[in-house]
Structure 1
Amino acid sequence: MGASGWDYSVPYQEDLVGAFEALRRKVFEERDYYWEPAEEGRPWPGSIEELWDDEIVREAGTHSILDIFRIIGPEDEPEHFTMRQVTEEEALRVLGTRKLTRAHVPRFEGFDHWGWYGRCAVLHDERGEPREICFWGYWGD
């Protein structure tokens, strides 16, 4: 399996960590991640913890938000399995605005990113009100 990009958008809520955790649960429950059931009798895992007990997953990941374990602060150094939110200052520097919108998403490759690491950003409507949270990353071997 090669490397892959992934992205999700969810309705805005003030609790970024809560939105992140709810999205991870949804992706897991809907089985919307890479799982190699090629071995006979290899069932889907019953929990995220069981998923990460799998040797193949630990080596190659799931190519989804399930590969991100926590959100770090803007001052923290990115590490594998973490996600950092785009700050207003970073948005201004990269895209010329503090309030990102859905129209900016195709240009998100301009933000710092690394494999095995994710980013997220609040997206606003035309009045500048927050409407969505976009999560994205690049994953895989």
Structure 2
Amino acid sequence: MGASGWDYLVPYDGGVAATLQRLRADVFAAGDYYWPYGSDRPKPATEEELWADRNVRESMTHSVLDVFEVGTGDPRGERTFGRTFEVTDAECTAVFGTAHPTADDLPPDLEGPIEALLTGRGVGRHLIIHGADGPAQILFFGATGD
């Protein structure tokens, strides 16, 4: 099947980790992820059941569900799989023209700009989008899957 790119622009929820966990819960509840069995089998009722399936562990979900925690350090380094890493100020300035973008700084088609920021399959990235009073949204993106 190959890897799938994904992105989500969601309201900031007090911190990156809290926002990530809320997003993961929303995506799971909506069933908005790859399920290797299609409609032949119902999707699991819990994430624990989802990840207990060998086929899911091998193919992944092609969604933010494949990112479990916020990482620190270099997103190209070791121990990056399953983590999301913040886009650096330098990367952000190079791609969006500012280190602290607002929603107005994001292009209508994000695919090209965010693709340049991906560091590897199974590694997520995130970018805090600022509003008048500080962080307003977070853009999570990555490429995951077999």
> Could you say which TM-score interval applies, normalised by the shorter chain?
0.7 to 0.9
1:130 aligns with 2:135: yes
Give aligned-pair identity as a percent: 38
SS for the counterpart of 2:99 is coil
Aligned length: 139
Once superposed, what is the RMSD of the aligned Cα atoms?
Answer: 2.2
Runs of 4+ residues over 6 Å off in structure 1 = none
* Deviation at residue 69 of structure 1 after TM alignment: 1.1
Structure 2: distance between partners of 1:2 and 1:124: 33
Q: What are structure 1's unaligned runs of at least 5 residues?
A: none
Structure 1 pair 104–39 and aligned structure 2 pair: CA distance change class (3 A): closer
Q: Bigger shift: 43-52 or 53-62? A: 43-52
Give TM-score, length-normalised by structure 2: 0.82
- The residue aligned with 2:45 is 46
Question: Deviations for 1:66-86, whole angstroms, at most 9, x for unmatched residues?
Answer: 011111013563521111011
Q: What amino acid maps onto 2:71 in structure 1?
A: I
Structure 2: distance between partners of 1:13 and 1:47: 23
Q: Bigger shift: 23-32 or 128-137? A: 128-137
Give TM-score, length-normalised by structure 1: 0.84
Give matches, 1:1-141, under 5 Å: 1-38=1-38, 40=40, 42-75=41-74, 77=77, 79-102=80-103, 103-104=105-106, 106=110, 107-125=113-131, 127=132, 129-141=134-146
Structure 1: distance between partners of 2:63 and 2:72: 21
Structure 1 pair 48–80 and aligned structure 2 pair: CA distance change class (3 A): same
